[in-house]
Amino acid sequence: MIENYLDINPDVRDTLAQNRPVVALESTIISHGMPYPQNKETALLVEQIVRDNGAIPATIAIINGKIKVGLNNDEIDYLARSGNKIVKASRRDIPYLLSKKIDGATTVASTMIAADLAGIRVFATGGIGGVHRGASQSFDISADLQELSNTNVAVVCAGIKAILDLGLTLEYLETFGIPVLGYKTKELPAFYTQKSGFQVNYKMNSASEIAKLLKTKWDLNLKGGVLITNPIPKEKQLDYKIMNTAIEAAITEEKKLGIKGKESTPFLLAKVKELTGGLSLKANIELVYNNAKLAAQIAKYYAK
């Protein structure tokens, strides 16, 4: 029955059948992350980085009533050109979009779901969603966290998006037993920078070490994902003070405008980009490249 809704690219399907490494990639970063043609160029380069590091990329989206696992160049171009016209699709949106044959760009949560359905265990993204600042009043908590507690996919990222409440997000992850790993670091990276003031659960020094942990977790039937935080390269990071000043200003304006819910994260990221003169977007692109490389390396060892 699932075949009615799932369309796996033949290259991806063959690679999985041969137990060779595949890395899942989201599509929200294409349609909602940056303007055309920069979004297309970035998406294609991320796929190439995965290939250069020994794995096959599987960019995921919802197109014409199907969850597509492994987009071709024309499909990536379509998402890139369409931009914000494409619906941002999380878990709750999947049944509606599929039943109505409405196209959707997958978030962290929905990409995890699709990857799991296809049998892909490693996923590279920029940063995950989490507990929003002021969540004690708004109850605004990303679906990404619930997905990590339920779905057996490892997420390689540069940490929790810095616009969020990092401390509360870590508490939430702990409550649901989601391991937070730091690649060659004990400090949780804060998306645009290496610095956050918070610690990860475990420092991991190699991709093979991470792959062994994933195998052990799932061999024990311990349901749920693993968060692998990979710091942005030092020379590419945003200045910590500049980042925090921009975030505080963006949050102040968000409150004035009354922006809430699904529109909050896109607004804040766009405002931070504006306030940093585009430096945050440059950092975002660099960290995605860095995560794609590590994810491919982990996928290679996990496939063994």
For residue range 99-121, list pLDDT tens digits in order: 999 999 999 999 999 999 999 99
- Distance, in Å, from the CA atom of 110 to the CA atom of 91, rounded to the nearest integer, reads 5
Total Cβ atoms within 10 A of residue 195: 14
Q: Residue 139: pLDDT above 90?
A: no
Mean pLDDT across 149-161: 97
Statement to judge: residues 159 and 263 lie in one domain? yes
**Average pLDDT along the chain:** 95
pLDDT digits (tens, 9 = 90+) for 279-292: 999 999 999 999 99
The yes-or-no answer on residue 248 being catalytic is no
Statement to judge: residues 267 and 144 lie in one domain? yes
Statement to judge: residues 170 and 219 lie in one domain? yes
The yes-or-no answer on residue 171 being catalytic is no
Catalytic residue among 68, 88, 161, 300: 161
Per-residue pLDDT band at 3 (split at 50, 70, 90): confident
Number of separate domains in the chain = 2
Q: Residue 175: pLDDT above 90?
A: yes
Mean pLDDT across 260-266: 80
Statement to judge: residues 131 and 109 lie in one domain? no
Q: Residue 138: pLDDT above 80?
A: no
Measure CA of the first residue to CA of the last residue in the chain; give whole Å.
Answer: 30
Statement to judge: residues 92 and 141 lie in one domain? no
Q: What is the helix (H) or strand (E) element at residue 148, kind and residue range? A: helix 143-150
Instruction: Name which of 56, 48, 51, 61 is nearest 22 in CA terms.
Output: 56
Mean pLDDT across 117-145: 91
pLDDT digits (tens, 9 = 90+) for 193-215: 999 999 999 999 999 999 999 99
pLDDT of residue 135: 75
Torsion-angle region of 38 (φ positive above 0: left; ψ -120 to 50: alpha; else: beta)? alpha
pLDDT digits (tens, 9 = 90+) for 247-261: 999 989 988 998 887
Query: Any idea what the CATH number is for the domain that residue 64 is in?
Result: 3.40.1790.10
Domain limit, last residue, from 96, 120, 144? 120
Domain with 10, as residue range(s), is 1-120
Statement to judge: residues 278 and 188 lie in one domain? yes
Provide the percentage of residues in the chain whose pLDDT is more than 90. Answer: 89
Catalytic residue among 26, 47, 254, 286: 26
Statement to judge: residues 96 and 239 lie in one domain? no
Give alpha helix (H) positions in 18-85: 28-31, 38-52, 73-82
- Distance, in Å, from the CA atom of 108 to the CA atom of 167, rounded to the nearest integer, reads 20
Domain limit, last residue, from 103, 120, 137? 120
Statement to judge: residues 13 and 105 lie in one domain? yes
Statement to judge: residues 16 and 143 lie in one domain? no
Statement to judge: residues 66 and 133 lie in one domain? no
Domain limit, last residue, from 75, 96, 120? 120
Statement to judge: residues 254 and 116 lie in one domain? no
Statement to judge: residues 136 and 113 lie in one domain? no
The structure's pTM equals: 0.96
